[in-house]
């Protein structure tokens, strides 16, 4: 069977490092941390009092007041990212067959703030069940993608992938395969998340998953560092316009990179911990490389999951050496979460954008905040610590691993 080629023609994001792709990329390659004290709520009684929030965000700059009240923050971030990506792609929606134009969106949690506030109002009330008519549609995880579809009248494949931190990476894998098989011409793929809430921070604190470096938030996300003590929660949205190659060329689109492969599998190991031997992670990388029709020797850069947690930061490098063998030592590796924090369900799409821009610009963003590499790490691996590196990047892959053992890997090529 002849599979169609798939390319990336548009990018959009709003995240802790910027309200647009150019702003995000500039801060990323310059090693800027997006962490700071939490402003969404009074966090003084929480073990973790900082996060990677979207800075200077005012909903009324993007939506009118009435519309904003109907939208959970995660959906707002998704609509903003999609708008930038569609504009960036230069696509003329009026000339498209919208029945072949889809939306596949990822969200690990969805409208957590809406859920928390509505339930709090009920619990603290007199027992009368007073709930907003927008409660359910604001909260449910599929609504971020649905609203993008509605906004632009897109009637092709339309659904949401929910696989914790791997959600938006799975959205991209699905988009790749649907276009390859001729089921769609264009797909808006990405994800959004807004879990910097009392429930989100409190819940992750109770798991001892978050860093508690309250005295120095900007250095708290420190993947692979001996002194790391947990991840830093982030928020935002990230979107890629994914398009069939001939369709893109016919309309004269600017192509960022080719999406050549993707794979997913499961660790089948634990609710929250990765397989310590990295077997599932190694397998999913090899499956993605095989799917791309390349070899491990062709890969130049890996944007790792790299969350700044004790177990994950050891298991993933093991997986890389297991999958790539001697080739692992000529790769560049870096974790953009050292700057953005962990965007949960939106992480895969944001890190896919990082890979696309690394391929386009021949720059490897750094892993910041590492002063003492963990002695358990293989010292021969190049983690691109603390400073970006110029390098000819023909192929980049993005790893995303979710709670429950959900693994995804995506491959981009010049």
Q: Do 79 and 148 contact (CB within 8 A), yes or no? A: yes
Query: Are 21 and 353 a contacting pair, CB within 8 Å?
Result: yes
**How are the residues of the chain apportioned to helix, strand and coil, as percentages rounded to the nearest 5?**
40, 20, 40
* Phi-psi label, residue 208: left if phi above 0, alpha if psi -120 to 50, beta otherwise: left
**Strand 36-37 relative to strand 6-14: parallel, antiparallel, unpaired?**
unpaired
342 as an active site residue: the answer is: yes
Q: Which helix (H) or strand (E) holds 173?
A: helix 167-180
Whether 106 contacts 208, CB under 8 Å: no
305 is known as an active-site residue: yes
Structure tokens that stand for 25 in this block: 């990329």
3-class SS string, 347-412:
HHHHHHHHHHHHHHHCEECCECCCCCECCCCCCCCECCECCCEECCCCEEEEEEEECCCEEEEEEE
Tell me the backbone φ, ψ of residue 228, rounded to 5 degrees: -60, 145
Token output for 95: 């000339």
Q: What is the DSSP letter of 101?
A: E
CB 166 within 8 A of CB 100: no
Choosing from 305, 355, 406, 409, the catalytic residue is 305
> Helix, strand or coil for residue 130?
coil
363-364 vs 389-390, strand pairing mode: antiparallel
Angle (deg, nearest 10), helices 347-361 and 167-180: 60
DSSP reduced 3-state for 181: coil
Tokens of 317: 């490098």
Q: Among 19, 52, 165, 370, which one carries the catalytic annotation?
A: 165
Q: What's the distance, CA 206 to chain centroid? A: 24
d(CA 324, CA 181): 29
Catalytic site residues? Answer: 165, 305, 342
């Amino acid at each position: 069977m002849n599979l169609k080629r798939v390319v990336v023609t548009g990018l959009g994001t709003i995240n802790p490092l910027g309200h647009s792709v150019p702003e995000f990329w500039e801060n990323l390659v310059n090693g800027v941390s997006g962490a700071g004290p939490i402003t969404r709520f009074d966090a003084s009684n929480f073990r973790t009092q900082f996060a990677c929030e979207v800075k200077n965000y005012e909903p009324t700059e993007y939506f009118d007041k009435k519309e904003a009240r109907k939208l959970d923050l995660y959906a707002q971030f998704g609509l903003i990212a999609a708008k930038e990506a569609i504009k960036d792609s230069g696509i003329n929606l009026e000339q498209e067959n919208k029945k072949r134009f889809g939306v596949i969106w990822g969200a690990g949690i969805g409208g957590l703030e809406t859920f928390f506030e509505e339930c709090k109002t009920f619990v603290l009330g007199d027992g009368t069940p007073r709930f907003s008519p927008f409660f359910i549609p604001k909260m449910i995880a599929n609504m971020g993608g649905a609203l993008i579809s509605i906004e632009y009248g897109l009637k092709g494949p339309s659904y949401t992938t929910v696989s914790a931190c791997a959600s938006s990476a799975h959205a991209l894998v699905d988009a790749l395969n649907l276009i390859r098989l001729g089921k769609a011409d264009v797909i808006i793929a990405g994800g959004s998340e807004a879990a910097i809430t009392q429930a989100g921070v409190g819940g992750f604190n109770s798991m001892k998953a978050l860093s508690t470096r309250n005295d120095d938030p900007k250095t708290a996300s420190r993947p692979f560092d001996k002194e790391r003590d947990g991840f830093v929660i982030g928020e935002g949205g990230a979107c890629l316009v994914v398009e069939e190659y001939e369709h893109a060329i016919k309309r004269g689109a600017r192509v960022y990179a080719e999406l050549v492969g993707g794979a997913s599998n499961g660790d089948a190991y634990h609710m929250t911990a990765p397989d310590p031997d990295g077997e599932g992670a190694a397998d999913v990388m090899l499956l993605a490389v095989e799917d791309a029709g390349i070899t491990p020797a062709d890969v130049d850069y890996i944007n790792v999951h790299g969350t700044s947690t004790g177990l994950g930061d050891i298991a993933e490098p093991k997986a890389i050496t297991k999958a790539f063998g001697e080739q692992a030592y000529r790769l560049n590796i870096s974790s953009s979460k050292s700057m953005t924090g962990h965007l949960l369900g939106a992480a895969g799409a944001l890190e896919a954008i990082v890979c696309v821009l690394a391929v386009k610009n021949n720059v490897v963003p750094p892993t910041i905040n590492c002063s003492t590499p963990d002695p358990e790490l293989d010292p021969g691996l190049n983690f691109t610590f603390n400073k970006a590196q110029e390098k000819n990047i023909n192929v980049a892959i993005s790893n995303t691993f979710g709670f429950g053992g959900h693994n995804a890997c995506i491959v981009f090529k010049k």
